[in-house]
């Protein structure tokens, strides 16, 4: 019998490798992203017609893995056609996205609770999330000037019929005096459901009126993330999300808009990817962040965070994943994101989509990325640090 005696450092390394191999065979309770790699772009021109509608205003996107289809919501309020969502095929079979890799295959009108298409200016649909029950949830910013409240409704994927409506907490609802609630066009832009389909999340794109100011050049804003329990169909926790200050290098128009445009639940443990989108008067600034709710303060009982000592509130934790200005592409108005198909390498894809605002100088832009999760050994060491602080 041979006994190999290893020096102590090598013993420790071998033990770590063996334990890491053991843990790697079990599903991770959380998904932490270490890097994001760009793998291609496709564009659809403004004015593109499909089934007697103009494709455009695509503000959110979600993925149906079983059928390998993507559903994208249009924020058309009824000017071009009734409020609707599109079904797309996106070809990533070669491990990248090419300009002819996106194909529209269907369009479905959304129907209100009276089983009729939404009439003009009664909705502003921005977020979309798919469920395994062959339904989608859709968020609408509403129309403050027409006194139309925001909504989050569940629709049949096949027919577009309304199935259920989630109640909106009063603090998010605008009042005629403009003292509270979401701001015009800065409401429920985002929507995401956890993989176990127990929770749905949305957020205000900017601060509620009673919570603080909207984003300005060089100044961020205080958004609220809102959690729903999909078993009870009731709102639960709320969290503070601080956006990144963005100061344009050059802004000849003086126009500026910035905010939280979408969320993507990565796991059931409170980890997300967020998009912060800014129009700086001369192009777009787009950030992807990985965020965690785990140490954030539940602010559901604070009707106004402006009236609370901010030292009592911990916002969600943020880590910059990617500044899209570093890509060799001309960025459009990116507003939506979803996990997509698994790539031939087995790695997870990420899809981003832009809202062209139905303007001739813009286009519908689809960007594809490869997500690289943290290695099993890194995950193990992080767990050990948690278990043995």
Alpha-carbon span 238 to 224, nearest angstrom = 6
Rounded to an integer, the average pLDDT of 219-225 is: 97
- Write down the residue that tokens 């956006």 correspond to: 243
Percentage of the residues of the chain whose pLDDT score is greater than 70? 89
**Higher pLDDT among residues 7 and 320, named by residue:** 320
Please state, in angstroms and rounded to a whole number, the distance separating the CA atoms of residues 126 and 189. Answer: 5
Average pLDDT over residues 57-71: 98
Question: Is residue 25's pLDDT more than 50?
Answer: no
CA separation for the pair 129, 338 (Å, rounded): 9
Q: Residue 383 pLDDT > 70, yes or no?
A: no
Residues 14, 20, 24: CA angle, nearest 5 degrees: 150
Task: Flag whether pLDDT at 320 surpasses 80.
Answer: yes
The pTM assigned to this predicted structure is: 0.90
Task: Round to whole Å and give the CA distance between 365 and 331.
Answer: 8
Looking up tokens 């050049």 gives 217
Residue 170 main-chain phi, psi, to 5 deg: -60, -35
Two tokens, residue 244 = 């990144």
* Cα separation, 270 vs 192, whole angstroms: 12
- Look at 13 and 55; give whichever has higher pLDDT: 55
Answer positive or negative: Cα dihedral of 179, 315, 308, 215: negative
Q: How confident is the model at residue 26 (pLDDT cuts 50, 70, 90)?
A: very low
DSSP 3-state of 315: coil
CA distance 188 to 128: 11
- pLDDT (tens digit per residue) in 78-127: 999 999 999 999 999 999 999 999 999 999 999 999 999 999 999 999 99
Whether residue 126 contacts residue 90, with contact meaning beta carbons closer than 8 Å, is answered with no
Res 271 pLDDT > 80: yes
Express each pLDDT in 117-166 by its tens digit: 999 999 999 999 999 999 999 999 988 888 899 999 999 999 999 999 99
- What average pLDDT does the structure give for the chain? 91
């Amino acid at each position: 019998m041979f006994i190999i005696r290893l020096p102590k450092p090598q013993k420790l390394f071998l033990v770590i490798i063996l334990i890491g191999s053991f843990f790697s065979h079990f599903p991770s309770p959380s998904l932490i992203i270490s890097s994001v790699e760009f793998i291609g772009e496709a564009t659809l021109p403004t004015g593109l017609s499909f089934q007697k509608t103009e494709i455009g205003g695509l503000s959110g996107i979600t993925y149906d893995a079983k059928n390998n289809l993507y559903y994208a919501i249009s924020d058309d309020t009824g000017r071009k056609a009734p409020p609707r969502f599109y079904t797309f095929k996106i070809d990533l079979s070669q491990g990248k996205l090419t300009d002819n890799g996106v194909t529209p295959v269907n369009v479905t009108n959304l129907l209100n609770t009276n089983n009729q298409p939404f009439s003009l200016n009664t909705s502003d649909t921005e977020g979309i999330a798919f469920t395994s029950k062959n339904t989608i949830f859709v968020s609408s910013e509403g129309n403050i000037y027409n006194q139309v409240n925001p909504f989050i409704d569940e629709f049949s994927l096949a027919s577009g019929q309304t199935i259920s409506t989630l109640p909106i907490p009063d603090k998010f609802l605008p009042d005629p005096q403009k003292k509270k609630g979401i701001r015009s066009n800065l409401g429920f832009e985002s929507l995401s459901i956890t993989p176990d389909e127990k929770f749905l999340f949305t957020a205000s794109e900017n601060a509620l009126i009673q919570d603080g100011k909207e984003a300005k050049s060089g100044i961020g804003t205080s958004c609220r993330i809102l959690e729903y329990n999909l078993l009870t169909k009731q709102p639960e926790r709320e969290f503070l999300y601080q956006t990144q200050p963005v100061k344009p290098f050059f802004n000849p128009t003086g126009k500026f808009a910035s905010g939280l445009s979408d969320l993507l639940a990565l796991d059931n443990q409170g980890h997300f990817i967020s998009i912060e989108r800014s129009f700086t008067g001369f192009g777009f600034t787009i950030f992807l962040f990985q965020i965690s709710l785990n140490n954030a303060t539940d602010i559901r009982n604070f009707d106004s965070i402006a009236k609370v000592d901010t030292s009592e509130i911990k916002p969600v934790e943020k880590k910059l994943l990617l500044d899209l200005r570093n890509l060799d592409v001309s960025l459009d108005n990116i507003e939506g994101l979803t996990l997509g198909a698994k790539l031939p390498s087995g790695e997870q894809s990420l899809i981003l989509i832009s809202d062209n605002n139905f303007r001739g100088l813009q286009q519908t832009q689809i960007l594809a990325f490869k997500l690289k999760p943290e290695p099993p050994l890194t995950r193990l060491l992080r767990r050990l640090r948690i278990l043995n602080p």
